[in-house]
Amino acid sequence: MSGFVFSEKPIAIERGDGVHLYDADGTEYLDVGASYACVPVGHCHPEVVAAATDQLETLTYVQGSYPNAARTALYERLAEVAPGDIDRVWLCNSGTEANEAALKFSRHATGRSRIVATMQGFHGRTMGALAATWKTQYKEGFEPLAGDFEFVPYGDVDALEEAVDEETAAVIVEPLQGEGGVNPATTAYLEAVREATRDAGAAMILDEIQTGLGRTGSMWAADAHGVVPDVLTTAKGLANGLPIGATLVREWIAADPGDHGSTFSGGPVVSAAAGATLDVVERDGLADHAADVGEYLMAELESAIGDQVREIRGTGLLIGVEVKRGANPILRDLALDHGILALPAGRSVVRLLPPLTIEREHADEVVAAMEAIVG
């Protein structure tokens, strides 16, 4: 039996190296989607591969109740890089699970149930995270989901302040909506979320699953906005392509999180890979590099493309090009005519979120291809 959930693309990918992917015939593709931001330091980065391989051979797995050096080191690394005084870490296997834990911990620590989420927000596909996700298409036929969720327009300070009160357990928000169309939040909006949740005794959950790890030009988007949430979730690229998620929390949440667990939490192999990924991101200054190349790419795109484009927006290497016709034909032309693999964000946005190791010369290739297609 073949798979049935994903619709498959006509290109069979066999090998990856840095910013490139190769199909079975050896055709090279420039990867500017990074399979949804999952390979921040590039495909098959030798240091990540070595760390994972060594750990695979030493100890593939041990249950979480036995301390293990790779896991302990990752707890420490994540506490070090987390914004402000966030220093407690819960490890899991994916983004949706990281958010699921964030929602559970917030409800337990506050003793409240109401969660405020944002329109166009995306937080995952399990029943709790899905309840915080906006798009009807993802929820249809799966109800009832987890209850007591309320949606407010993204970026609207008044609506947010109105929604948050003494019954609110948490507000969950992305600092830049990825899946929802590449919509950056302003600092003023995130500050308002911070203030409203603090005043109400609720948790601010910042979903940095797509925006974190240097992608938007700082380790976390939160850093650039100067906002420290109570809970920050990360996943996607954290182990450069191996499955992992993390829920980073402040002490007041960690003090009373309730009973939660997961068999594979902090497995040694993914922990070793994540530690190596964080090392490379920091040592190679990939956040600054993302800011630099991202700014260059946006500016070049602005001057190259014409009136088929409605808007170009984003931060660092999370860029959306909103087009007037659908994004899918453009993505197909990019792949088949120009050897460039990008992503959609909704129906009308071409999303660029390449490995952070992309150079200006690769950005030039993207610009030339976009100019040929929508110039």
Distance CA 30, CA 19 (A): 6
Q: Which residue number places its CB atom closest to ligand PLP?
A: 95
Angle ∠(250,254,260) on CA atoms, nearest 5: 135
CB of 291 to ligand PLP, least distance (A): 20
With binding defined as CB under 6 A, does residue 206 bind ligand PLP? no
| Paired tokens of 258 | 């309730």
| Residue 98 CB coordination number (10 Å) | 31
Distance CA 280, CA 276 (A): 6
CB of 152 to ligand PLP, least distance (A): 17
With binding defined as CB under 6 A, does residue 104 bind ligand PLP? no
Under 8 Å CB-to-CB from 281, ≥6 apart: which residues? 40, 41, 213, 214, 219, 287, 356
With binding defined as CB under 6 A, does residue 96 bind ligand PLP? yes
Applying CB under 6 A, the site for ligand PLP has a residue count of 15
| Paired tokens of 18 | 């840095």
Residue listed under structure tokens 């929820």? 139
The pattern of x and - marking residues 211 through 240 that bind ligand PLP according to CB under 6 A reads ------------------------xx----
- Sign of the C-alpha dihedral computed for residues 137, 140, 146 and 148 taken in this order: positive
For ligand PLP, the binding residue among 179, 223, 230, 300 (CB under 6 A) is: 179
With binding defined as CB under 6 A, does residue 30 bind ligand PLP? no
| Catalytic choice (31, 149, 207, 223) | 207
With binding defined as CB under 6 A, does residue 120 bind ligand PLP? no
CB of 113 to ligand PLP, least distance (A): 21
With binding defined as CB under 6 A, does residue 344 bind ligand PLP? no
With binding defined as CB under 6 A, does residue 31 bind ligand PLP? no
Q: Is 324 a catalytic residue?
A: no
236 burial level (CB within 10 Å; 0-12, 13-18, 19+):
buried
Report helix, strand or coil for 310.
strand
With binding defined as CB under 6 A, does residue 100 bind ligand PLP? no
With binding defined as CB under 6 A, does residue 174 bind ligand PLP? yes
Question: By the criterion CB under 6 A, which residues form the site for ligand PLP?
Answer: 94-96, 99, 122-124, 174, 178-179, 207, 209-210, 235-236
Active site residues: 122, 207, 236
